[in-house]
Chain A
Amino acid sequence: MEKKKNKKVFLKVVIIGDSGVGKTSLIHRYTSTRFLQDFKPTIGAEFSNKEVVINGKTVVAQIWDTAGQERYQSLGISFYRGADCCGIVFDRSDHSSFENLDTWKNAFLKHGAPKEEGTFPFLVIGNKSDLDDGSLVKERDAQQWCADNGNLEYIETSAKDNTSVEEAFTKLIEKGMEREKVNLVELPDRMSQKNKTVNLQRDVAKDVNRKPQKKKCC
């Protein structure tokens, strides 16, 4: 049982950020290795799955693409809850989207209410690096912001040119796995007592995993 669990790990990866910064493009680039020219604005949330092998473990990343418009934040609870890691995306050519990083991070922490508020794995992604006309948000500024906000990691990507997209998601997933490891230690014994199928086990494991979080937070 333990082996099986180690074999396949499910992770919930949530991608947030202002409208139009390229969240959907990034995810699409990562999951289907294509760049979408014409696409739809994300309404509510969309999911995609990607199976990757990281450190010898098969990880199924359930990537949640969320809507960027402000008013959709009222739905945040259901989107963010139970996330293992979170990527905050901004558009390097749009300074206001950079300025909104604070808002997004705080919104995620409040709505998603993860157990470890201080150490929750975030990754800041500066997208649209291809649009370099000298007026992009500077890496120095972005790094500064990350340093000021709990030493978050920062990466610059371009979904269009496929620059560092794979890298960004790999980093995210690794971060999520680290977190998962910490939590797996706490897995109660009754998990292993229930003899269910592999799939359900994972879900139950997740549920059990989350429950103490909720209690502690509220």
Chain B
Amino acid sequence: MEERAESYDLCDVPLDYNGEENISISDMETRITQPKYKDMSLTTKSNKRRMKNDKLDQSYEELRHTLMTPPSLHRKNKSDMLFLFRTDKEELRKLRQTQKRVIKRRKLNKITKTFTSDLSNIGKEHAPDLTSEDTEKEQVKMVRKFQRDGRISETDKKTLVILILKNKGLVPKIRKNLWMILTEATKNVNDFPDYYYFPEGYKPLEGRRIHGSNSGLPQVSERHRLLYSYPDMPDIYEQQILLDLDRTFSDIPEFCKENSQNKRILLNILLSYTKRNPQIGYCQGMNYLAATLLRVFDDEELAFWGLCNLCESILPLDYYSHMIEVLVDQKVFVHLLQELMPTLYEHLQNLGLDVALVLFQWFICLFASQFNQQVTEAIWDLIFLEGSVAVFRSSLAILSIMEEDILDASEFSEIYPILNTKPFEVINEPSVLMKSIKKFITLKHERIRELRNQYRPIILEEQAKLSNCQSCIRPPKQESIGSKRIKLLSRFPLLDFFLKDTLTEEGKINEMTLDLCDYSCKENPICLYDFTIRSKSCNFLVYRVGKPIEILGEYFYQEEANKETLKSQNWHIFTSDKPKICNDHTKFVEKDDYKKIQQRKICKYSDDDLLLCRESHLCTREDFHHEFQHLFNKNCNTLLDNDLICNFKGDEKACEAAKNQVLHTLKEENQRNNSPDSQNNEASQSCEENPDHVSSISSEQISQNDFEIPTNEIGGGWYFPDEEVFKNICEMDYISNLEKSSVSRSSEFNPLMALKNREEGSFGSTFKLMSSVFFDKTT
């Protein structure tokens, strides 16, 4: 410890045990120990040398305190005070940061090191667990810190995972808080106060359909906004949900027959979710997810957001909607099993048992349906922290616990109970499982992704074969106007509407009230709308500043806009041979092409042209968006006409324009639907919706009114890649970066702030500067 403090040689222990993060310790270290701060680090060193290990924290706190308050008030740390006088404020600030980091690093390293040694000790008799109390304390401390910061960095997540595995579970009392941050439930509740519930004092409209009215459950309160939205959306899931409601944890007092209040809440959550994301809707198994979240959060709204996060952010797309990804994951798992536990795999093969079928339930319900609450929650801690790789690890861990039993079994009938019921009796507390999970800590996210990509085509092919025999699959229920409208709305990706009571008795749409709601997703998980946007708006575009602004090229990632998935979901796909957005430049690019474009090898663009990148979520850059729209207003509205970038809020005129646009398209849509061959043509036509016509209306409106964008505008998700980002993009796998969790996306990756800090006068010139920086750097 002492030694390490002196040498700062902290990078000897590799941190990227799960490889989900690109920043390694050494990266951090180089940043910390830049030559500029060399002198200071010496000072720190001498400071530290005096500190006793166990008092490290405390001393640091004191130091911090000293630094924050006038020196006269403190006489404890004389050296620090002297130090204070010697350094100027700026340097001091930096030093403080450096110190903080170093201390954190040291702690982390200590943990990591013990942890790795623990790993090597596996198999030996109980390595003494001396640090159990410490790790618990550390866990609590970390979660407190997260609560303060409101976010968790990737590094912290890793540390916490280590702490959890080390301590054989998370300290239960901090679970709720941790989940609230990890699922971004608190954040979403704060950011969208009026999404799930109506705002206070809202008087609901009369004559609304009451959901679950026949269920005998208590009536829903009128506050539920999401539940009441899209009143004419077909309720294809309600019956199924009601059916499953009585069967969800019916053996637990919270959800037993008598507790109808909780059932009602569960129903509200699940029904609301079908409104939020009709593509996923409701899948058997989600009832367990919602119930588990509800048990931990003990709050309807939080549980709802938790469910959103789980289904849309943590688990792969198409997990519940078409189950493609579940099937893929099964294959991946079997592959891993064969690789990591060959004996077991062989044995199961010989007995003729397809493990994947048994595991299906584990994957769909994320263990909630079978394990007891403590174990489920312990696994979920890891799932929230690490993503679905934790599901694989846990499954492997369970099998490895059961390995002996399985190998002893010699008949199919014997083996099934061993897999289906016994694990849940044997593993009755988290510690058993945590111990086993450690063995599979080397299984990394990259590996999963690789295998998923390998097996996905196989599954898709299988499914395609099946869907060829359409006759056996139930014909889709007749679409009501509601679902059409949802489809329609999806064409306005950056506008999030709440449509209120727009149906007359004849069932025709005669009036639309658009309640433009705040689409300030920020770090919202991939939602329905984002999914649309992913297919609709390009990942980056090149355009020319001038009058008018000209889009020179738009590029999509092939990988991101997974065509098969999109196709299967009836989303409109833009392909290179048939560009659908207003210009001819839409393309799908392979990863390699992307790099080429980055390096301007296949670019026909001049030095004045700008390249804009879209981050994986469109609504991340509040301040940027404001500037960006400001820029539009100043120059031209051309880009606004493109449905790529438009987001209005609170501005009446802008709303008016948007409304016109919607009405227009709606009219088109109705006409189209009235024509006999509408069904077949719908998809293609909607893609080809006359952009000139639509945009002429809105642009007319917009230019006539010359509206101003309110300052609190949010959205877009576009940013100008800055120097550092470009370097990152060029050097590392950008796409893998995109796949990082939303937290890291926005919190650790904020090029705009970097831009802002430059303070290069007006935004426009910064813009230009950046482009030149980029091109200089890359050519």
Interface segment among B379-387, B388-396, B471-479: the answer is B471-479
The answer to whether B364 and A62 have CB atoms under 8 Å apart is no
Q: Is the CB of B323 within 8 A of A72?
A: yes
B338 contacts partner chain A, Cβ-Cβ < 8 Å:
no
Instruction: Kindly state the interface size class of chain B when it binds its partner.
Output: 35 or more
User: For window 15-63 of chain A, which residues contact chain B by CB distance below 8 Å?
Assistant: 19-20, 38-41, 43-47, 49, 60, 62
Which of chain B's residues have a CB closer than 8 A to the CB of A45? 357, 360
Cβ proximity bits A55-98 to B, threshold 8 Å, 1 near / 0 not: 00000101000011111111111110000000000000000000
The 5 closest A-B pairs by CB, nearest first: A44-B360, A38-B250, A110-B472, A106-B472, A49-B413
Task: Say yes or no: B327 contacts A75, CB within 8 Å.
Answer: yes
Query: Across the interface, do A79 and B357 meet the contact criterion of CB distance under 8 Å?
Result: yes
Q: Given A19-B243, A203-B351, A75 and B473 touching (CB < 8 A)? A: no
Instruction: Pull 5 A–B residue pairs with CB atoms less than 8 Å apart, ordered by A.
Output: A41-B284, A62-B412, A67-B284, A70-B474, A199-B411
| Known interface pairs A19-B243, A19-B284, A69-B283; A43-B463 also in contact (CB < 8 Å) | no
Q: How far is the CA of A45 from the CA of B244 in the complex (A)?
A: 16
Chain A CB within 10 A, most for which of B283, B410, B462: B283
Interface residue B322 (Cβ < 8 Å from any Cβ of A): yes
Contact A77 B354 (CB under 8 A): no
Asked if B473 and A41 sit within 8 Å, CB to CB, the answer is: no
How distant is the Cα of A68 from the Cα of B239 in the complex, in angstroms? 13
A103 sits at the interface (CB 8 A): yes
Kindly state the separation between the CA atoms of A69 and B462 in the bound complex, as whole angstroms. Answer: 20
Separation of A120 and B294 alpha carbons in the complex (Å): 46
Complex: how many Å from CA A75 to CA B462?
Answer: 10
Which residues in A have some Cβ–Cβ distance to B below 8 Å?
19-20, 38-41, 43-47, 49, 60, 62, 67-79, 100, 103, 106-107, 109-111, 199-200, 203, 206-207
Question: Bound complex: CA of A207 vs CA of B352, how far in Å?
Answer: 9
Q: Cβ of A67: which chain B residues have Cβ within 8 Å of it?
A: 284
- Extra inter-chain contacts (9) besides given A41-B287, A62-B412, A78-B356, CB under 8 Å: A38-B250, A39-B247, A41-B284, A43-B360, A47-B416, A71-B320, A74-B322, A75-B327, A203-B352
Residues in A whose Cβ lies below 8 Å from that of B365? 43
Q: Report B554 CB to chain A, min CB distance, Å.
A: 34
Bound together, the chains give a CA A40 to CA B243 distance in angstroms of 11
**Can you name the residue of chain A whose Cβ is closest to the Cβ of B326?**
A75
Q: Are A107 and B284 in contact (CB under 8 A)?
A: no
Do A69 and B240 have beta carbons less than 8 Å apart? yes
A75–B360 touching, CB < 8 Å: yes
Q: How far is the CB of A105 from chain B (nearest CB, A)?
A: 9
A41 near B247: Cβ-Cβ < 8 Å: yes
**Contact between B323 and A71 (Cβ–Cβ < 8 Å)?**
yes
Shortest B283–chain A CB gap in Å is 6
Name the one of B350, B410, B472 contacting A107, with C-beta atoms under 8 angstroms. Answer: B472
Partner of B357, one of A44, A68, A106: A44
Least Cβ–Cβ distance between B504 and chain A, in angstroms: 29
Residues of B within 8 A of A79 (CB): 357
Report chain B residues within 8 Å CB of A203.
350-352, 412
- Tell me the bound Cα distance from A203 to B360 in angstroms: 23
Chain A residue at smallest Cβ distance from B237: A69
Name which residue of chain B comes closest to A203, CB basis: B352
Q: Which of A39, A75, A78, A110 contacts B469 (CB 8 A)?
A: A110
B450-488 interface with A by 8 A CB criterion: 462-463, 466, 469, 471-474
- Contact A40:B352 (CB < 8 A) given known A49-B416, A71-B323, A110-B469: no
Contact B369 A43 (CB under 8 A): yes
* B323 lies within 8 A of A74 (CB): yes
- B473 with A107: CB separation less than 8 A: yes
- Enumerate chain A residues within 8 angstroms of B721, measured Cβ to Cβ: none
0/1 string, B244-276, CB within 8 A of A gives 1:
100110110000000000000000000000000
Q: From B364, B463, B469, give the contact of A44 (CB < 8 A).
A: B364
Task: Select from chain A the residue with minimum beta-carbon distance to B370.
Answer: A40
Given contacts A38-B250, A49-B416, A77-B466, contact A71 B283 (CB under 8 A): yes
CB distance B360 to A103 under 8 Å? no
Q: Return chain B residues, CB-CB under 8 Å to A77.
A: 462, 466
User: Are B463 and A74 in contact, CB atoms less than 8 angstroms apart?
Assistant: yes
* A74 near B327: Cβ-Cβ < 8 Å: yes
Q: In this assembly, does B685 line the interface, its C-beta being within 8 Å of a C-beta of chain A?
A: no
Q: How far is the CB of A169 from chain B (nearest CB, A)?
A: 16
